[in-house]
């Protein structure tokens, strides 16, 4: 995701690991951090180190916690059918929600924004009772639903969806020529701003059908494979799309406009592009970058994750969003970010930031997903690092290092990257830039590029189509490297400050004392120091150690381009 006025806050837990088509609950890391007697939705808010946090509301908890009426079921599929009326600015329809019960129960929690009405909820032909509480809709069943059984309910709704939040929520807009341009972008506020669903991050459906009825002459582009369109005979046409992979709720999108379409192919992968007619020629030139981008990411991580659904770019009036297999694009068909040199070091003007960033989310964010919004760095830190990899693959190592170090100026170090769990809290923007700089640091710690490339490739392959937490990332890296990297991850992700390498020179006897100053007592990180042309690696810890050096204080360098650290010399 990326904002048009630069984001002060951007958004996104579990260990509800999805293996193949069967979701299984695992008692892994996420649960391990919250004692069984005090699950996430009951815990009092943690003491926040962030400046003046907004008070946590019941609505935040209902929205963000993986509460008892969410944990008792596992989503299987959605079929969302909506009719969009541009004149009345209303939507109406239903979502058929298929799920498996994981425990016996008579209640489940779904979500729908209070601006929208619930028309009825049916199990077969049986109307169900429900209770609304802020955005939550608790659905009650007249008889016990049994663990292991699958059920489908039809949730009918209608109303005027809210145009809200940084990305528009659901917007009835007009294109520059005055034609309807209607779109959804709801990562911040949640997908339930425009359709009923289990609005959380941990549990994803395995597949989804999206059917959008719109006035004849308009085009709807949604996620997945285009199945076809049907003239409904009442001035409306229904556009049918099929998502054949797990999908985050907020990635589900409709884009309705006077689009023209052109297509291409990369091997077996269909590439489809939808733009306003007046932008067709510009788009044909600019969108040629999509192929090189996909080739770069496939080089590092493996095959594009949504082959059967294809890859699409869809023009929108906001800057961009990683809607799965239908990436929203609003970067004005120019390189950089909204015409600017994004990291300010002359590299960004070589490529279209929005194509490269938002599409990177197909690998991190969409294929590998965080299970709680608190750990959204798994989306944004990794995807920002993917930009760096794109630059390295396309323009070389030197440009990549310049590019990632250009991000230092954007780091704030005001609060930790990982936010409070279970309240749908949005982590600070450091999750992007500091996240990428941390991963660049980790590459230097591994200090063997062949090893690093294999590690990040295997990490992606291991967790693709799953929803994970930071603990899963750390455990994987520890296990694969046989290094104890936990304090390193924790320092960069769970504390505000980056580590400082303290150097005390004793020039008279040609020695130097060094240690890390860090919040993590066990923090230890090797780092390259000395002469740039001939680095030497010291194994610094939080305890003072002494080394010999012929270099004077002002000649002694630290490889701060390769490690995101502070250095203090005295």
Half-sphere exposure of residue 303: CA atoms within 13 angstroms, side-chain side: 8
Q: Give CA separation, 561 vs 404, 529, 534, 564, 566, in Å.
A: 9, 12, 15, 7, 11
Residue 9 or 282: the one with the smaller Cβ distance to Zn ion is 9
Residue 340 or 553: the one with the smaller Cβ distance to Zn ion is 340
Q: Render 277-317 in DSSP notation, one character per residue.
A: GGGHHHHHHHTTHHHHHHHHHHHHH-S-TTTTT-EEEEE-S
Judged by CB under 5 A, how many residues of this single chain contact Zn ion? 2
Segment near Zn ion (CB under 5 A); pick from 100-108, 341-349, 379-387, 463-471: 379-387
Closest distance between Zn ion and the C-beta of residue 11, in Å?
9
- Contact between 328 and Zn ion per CB under 5 A: no
Residue 218 or 417: the one with the smaller Cβ distance to Zn ion is 417
Q: Which residue has the tokens 């009650």?
A: 140
- Contact between 436 and Zn ion per CB under 5 A: no
Closest distance between Zn ion and the C-beta of residue 426, in Å?
13
* Interface mask toward Zn ion for 380-399; x: CB under 5 A: x-------------------
Residue 309 or 380: the one with the smaller Cβ distance to Zn ion is 380
Segment near Zn ion (CB under 5 A); pick from 237-245, 342-350, 376-384, 450-458: 376-384
E strand or H helix that includes residue 95: strand 90-101
Closest distance between Zn ion and the C-beta of residue 492, in Å?
19
Give dist(CA 316, CA 329) in Å, integer. 6
- Contact between 1 and Zn ion per CB under 5 A: yes
- Contact between 368 and Zn ion per CB under 5 A: no
Give dist(CA 471, CA 408) in Å, integer. 26
Give dist(CA 333, CA 255) in Å, integer. 18
Q: Give CA separation, 28 vs 72, 312, 468, in Å.
A: 17, 35, 10
Q: Which residue has the tokens 């669903």?
A: 197
> Is residue 446 within 8 Å of residue 452, measured between CB atoms?
yes
Closest distance between Zn ion and the C-beta of residue 491, in Å?
24
Output the six-digit token pair for 261: 């379409």
Segment near Zn ion (CB under 5 A); pick from 164-172, 377-385, 501-509, 557-565: 377-385
The residue number whose beta carbon is nearest to Zn ion equals 1
- The DSSP output letter for 339 is T
Closest distance between Zn ion and the C-beta of residue 187, in Å?
9
Closest distance between Zn ion and the C-beta of residue 321, in Å?
8
Segment near Zn ion (CB under 5 A); pick from 1-9, 188-196, 253-261, 473-481: 1-9
Cα-flanking dihedrals φ and ψ of residue 361, to 5°?
-65, -15
- Contact between 355 and Zn ion per CB under 5 A: no
Residue 155 or 351: the one with the smaller Cβ distance to Zn ion is 351
Closest distance between Zn ion and the C-beta of residue 166, in Å?
12
Residues that bind Zn ion (CB under 5 A): 1, 380
């Amino acid at each position: 995701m990326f904002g048009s006025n630069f984001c002060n806050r951007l958004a996104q837990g579990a260990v509800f690991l999805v293996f193949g088509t069967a979701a299984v609950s695992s008692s892994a890391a996420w649960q391990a951090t919250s004692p069984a007697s005090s699950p996430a939705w009951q815990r009092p808010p943690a003491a926040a180190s962030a400046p003046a946090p907004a008070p946590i509301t019941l609505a935040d908890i209902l929205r963000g916690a993986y509460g008892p009426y969410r944990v008792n079921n596992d989503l299987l599929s959605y079929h969302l059918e909506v009719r969009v009326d541009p004149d009345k600015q209303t939507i109406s329809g239903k979502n058929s929600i298929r799920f498996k019960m994981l425990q016996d129960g008579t209640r489940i929690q779904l979500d729908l924004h209070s601006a929208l009405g619930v028309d009825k909820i049916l199990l077969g032909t049986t109307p169900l009772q429900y209770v609304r509480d802020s955005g939550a809709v608790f659905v009650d069943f007249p008889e016990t639903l049994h663990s292991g059984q699958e059920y489908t309910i039809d949730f009918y709704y209608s109303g005027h969806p809210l145009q809200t939040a940084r990305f528009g929520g659901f917007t009835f807009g007009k294109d520059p020529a005055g034609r309807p341009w209607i779109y959804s972008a709801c990562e911040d506020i949640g997908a339930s701003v425009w359709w009923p669903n289990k609005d959380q991050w941990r549990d994803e459906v395995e597949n989804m059908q999206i059917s959008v009825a719109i006035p004849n002459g308009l085009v709807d582009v949604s996620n997945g494979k285009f199945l076809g369109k049907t003239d409904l005979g009442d001035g409306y046409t229904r556009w049918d799309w099929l998502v054949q992979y797990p999908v985050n709720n907020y990635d589900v999108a409709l884009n309705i406009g006077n689009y023209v379409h052109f297509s291409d192919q990369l091997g077996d992968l269909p590439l489809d592009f939808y733009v306003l007619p007046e932008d067709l020629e510009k788009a044909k030139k600019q969108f040629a970058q999509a192929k090189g981008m996909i080739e770069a990411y496939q080089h590092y991580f493996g095959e594009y994750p949504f082959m059967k659904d294809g890859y699409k770019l869809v023009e929108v009036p906001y800057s961009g969003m990683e809607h799965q297999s239908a990436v929203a694009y609003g970067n004005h068909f120019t390189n950089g970010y909204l015409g600017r040199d994004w990291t300010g070091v002359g590299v960004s003007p070589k490529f279209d930031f929005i194509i490269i960033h938002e599409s990177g989310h197909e690998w991190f964010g969409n294929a590998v997903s965080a299970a709680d919004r608190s750990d959204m760095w798994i989306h944004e830190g990794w995807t920002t690092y993917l930009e760096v990899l794109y630059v390295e693959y396309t323009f070389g190592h030197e440009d990549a290092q310049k590019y990632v170090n250009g991000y230092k100026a954007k780091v704030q170090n005001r609060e930790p990257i990982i936010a409070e769990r279970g309240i749908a809290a949005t982590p600070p923007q450091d999750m992007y830039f500091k996240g990428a700089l941390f991963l660049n640091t980790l590459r230097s710690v591994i200090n063997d590029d062949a090893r690093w490339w294999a590690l990040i490739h295997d990490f992606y392959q291991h967790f693709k189509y799953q929803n994970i937490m930071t603990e899963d990332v750390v455990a994987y890296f520890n296990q694969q490297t046989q290094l104890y990297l936990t304090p390193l991850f924790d320092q960069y992700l769970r504390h505000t400050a980056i580590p400082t390498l303290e150097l005390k020179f004793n020039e008279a006897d040609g020695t130097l004392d060094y240690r890390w100053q860090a919040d993590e007592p066990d923090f230890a990180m090797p780092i390259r120091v000395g002469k740039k042309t001939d680095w030497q690696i010291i194994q610094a810890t939080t305890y003072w150690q002494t080394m010999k050096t012929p270099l004077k204080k002002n000649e002694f360098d630290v490889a701060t381009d390769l490690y995101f650290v502070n250095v203090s010399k005295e």
